[in-house]
Each structure stands twice: as structure tokens, then as C-alpha cells.
């Protein structure tokens, strides 16, 4: 086990709520709630809430979904939460047929959670452009008032 991996224990109430939300995701994906089952459930990202930012949790689940024609499908699901004032608020969920589709969702999640950084070249160019345009506009206005 890597040293940067930490084991987090979640309360029974949290696990029960995540399982309920996973079942709701299966229902929205048009799988029978009585015959479908969730086989594995795990939290893959747990960003703690701080005084300045809300937290995030991303849960993966695997299971078997049974459709209306009684066919069994392997499913790979995801449930995303925002932790606000100590409470988990459901943000989004999804059920996919392959792990690759679920990983595409995770890449979108990772991009969404990242905060803007001024060290990024595009942000510096944007700031420089705004300053340059503002300077040119002010010079134009100053020139117009002096000439008039």
C-alpha cells in the first residue's frame, strides 16, 4: 500500500445513503430495482471540506443490472457528492456499460474540481490582454479629450 493512500472509515449512515443513491442511479438507467444488485462500492476521491471550500466525494460502484427483458448486464456506476457544512449533497450520478466510459466521467470530474491557477499560461495571457486593451482604451479616451 502506498504511503499517500489513507484509509477513511465512513459511517453506516453514509454507506446506506450512498447505496440508496446508487440504486436510484440504476433505476434511472432503467434497470429493475428488485432484481438488480450492487456488488461493490468504494470511495475513490474524498476531498475534505475546509473553511474556504466545500468538499467533494466520488464513489464508484459495480453491479449487475437486469433490464425489462430480463437480460443481465454488468454495470459500472459513479456517484458524485459535494460536502457542504458536513452534509453530502448529491451532484451527479451515472451508470455505464464499460469502465472506459466511467473513466471519461472521472476525467470530467477531475477538470471540474481543479481551481483556476494564475501560473497557467492562458490565464497570464488573458490578464495581459485585458491590461493591454484597457491601457489602449484609456490612452484613446485621454487623447480624444486633449484634442477636443
The residue ranges of every structural domain in the chain are: 12-115, 119-148
The radius of gyration computed from the CA coordinates of the chain, to the nearest angstrom, equals: 24
Confidence check: pLDDT of 133 > 50: yes
Give me the pLDDT at residue 3, please: 45
- The pair phi, psi for residue 50, each rounded to 5°, is -115, 180
143 — pLDDT class (breaks 50, 70, 90): confident
- 83 grid coordinates: 460536502
**pLDDT score for 107:** 73
pLDDT, position 1? 41
Instruction: Tell which residue, 19, 39, 18, 30, has the closest CA to residue 95.
Output: 30
Report the relative pairing of strands 55-66 and 87-96 from DSSP bridges.
unpaired
pLDDT digits (tens, 9 = 90+) for 73-114: 999 999 989 888 878 888 888 899 888 888 887 777 666 555
- Going by pLDDT thresholds of 50, 70 and 90, the confidence category of residue 137 is very high
Phi and psi (nearest 5°) for 102? -65, -40
The pLDDT value given to residue 113: 54
Reported as a single tens digit per residue, the pLDDT across 31-71 is 998 899 999 999 988 888 888 888 888 899 999 999 888 89
Given a contact cutoff of 8 angstroms between Cβ atoms, the answer to whether 84 and 54 are in contact is: yes
Amino acid at each position: 500500500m502506498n504511503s499517500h493512500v489513507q484509509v477513511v472509515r465512513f459511517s453506516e449512515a453514509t454507506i446506506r445513503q450512498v447505496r440508496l443513491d446508487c440504486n436510484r442511479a440504476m433505476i434511472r438507467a432503467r434497470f429493475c430495482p428488485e432484481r438488480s444488485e450492487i456488488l461493490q462500492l468504494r470511495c475513490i476521491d474524498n476531498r475534505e471540506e475546509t473553511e474556504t471550500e466545500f468538499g467533494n466525494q466520488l464513489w464508484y460502484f459495480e453491479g449487475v443490472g437486469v433490464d425489462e427483458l430480463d437480460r443481465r448486464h454488468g454495470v459500472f456506476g459513479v456517484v458524485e457528492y459535494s460536502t457542504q457544512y458536513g452534509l453530502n449533497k448529491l451532484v451527479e450520478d451515472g451508470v455505464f456499460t464499460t469502465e472506459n466510459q466511467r473513466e471519461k466521467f472521472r476525467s470530467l470530474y477531475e477538470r471540474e474540481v481543479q481551481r483556476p491557477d494564475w501560473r497557467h499560461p492562458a490565464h497570464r495571457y488573458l490578464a495581459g490582454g485585458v491590461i493591454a486593451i484597457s491601457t489602449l482604451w484609456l490612452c484613446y479616451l485621454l487623447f480624444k479629450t486633449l484634442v477636443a
